Copies of this chain bind each other. A is one copy, B any other.
Amino acid sequence: MRKPISPAVVRRLPKYYRYLRHAKAEGVERISSGDLSTMSGYTASQIRQDLNRYGDFGQQGYGYNVNRLLKGLEEILGLAKQNRVIIIGMGNLGHALANSDLFDRPSVQLVGLFDNDEMKKGELVQGLPIQAEEDLNDFLDENEVDLAVLTIPAQVARPISKNLYAKGVRGFWNFTSVDLKLGDDAMVEDVHLSESLIILLYYMKNPYDYKGVN
């Protein structure tokens, strides 16, 4: 099997995807690594290296066909696949995510919302009723769930995530400030807002260390 692809590369892929969608929206049909470099700030060399790991999307003397590369990236990024998603914790952040456009793509389909607050039970968000957390296990037994969004308090993050994992959930979008400890086949993507804000404070205090975003 091919060598694992480093996180550095993986984190650039959604950016390439975004720039390409932008180019396409502007009617661009073909694009060179140089063009993408101008848009993204990455070097053309790096962009060619990155894309070349995944196949022969380019053509010498021509560049990349925008549609073809977009299709390729959608396949690579897993956007072609459908994932069934639940949100655990319907506080302000859970509501914000449920109501955002993040789950408008077919690749991520919201199928359940859960909160342990009895008052919220039955409230409709995006057409889905908020369910009690005590109903979670039954729900997981009866429905396939691929991905869980964790917008719960830090104290309950470990036990709830372990339970979800035991019930077969393998994708975790983790908004809690806790490092989850799950099996090797659990995929965890952290959004540590508190750390992100602290990093901004650091650079405001130490602008000398700031290299610019990207």
Contacts and interface: CB of A to CB of B under 8 A. Distances in A.
B108 A197 contact: yes
Contact of A13 (B171, B191, B192, B202): B202
Nearest to A9: B209
A15 interface: yes
Range class of the A interface residue count: 35 or more
B213 A180 contact: yes
A197 to B, nearest CB: 6
A197 B175 CA distance: 11
Interface of A: 1, 4-5, 7, 10-11, 13-15, 17-18, 76-79, 81, 83, 91-93, 95-97, 99-100, 102, 107-108, 146-147, 170-173, 177, 179-180, 184-185, 187-214
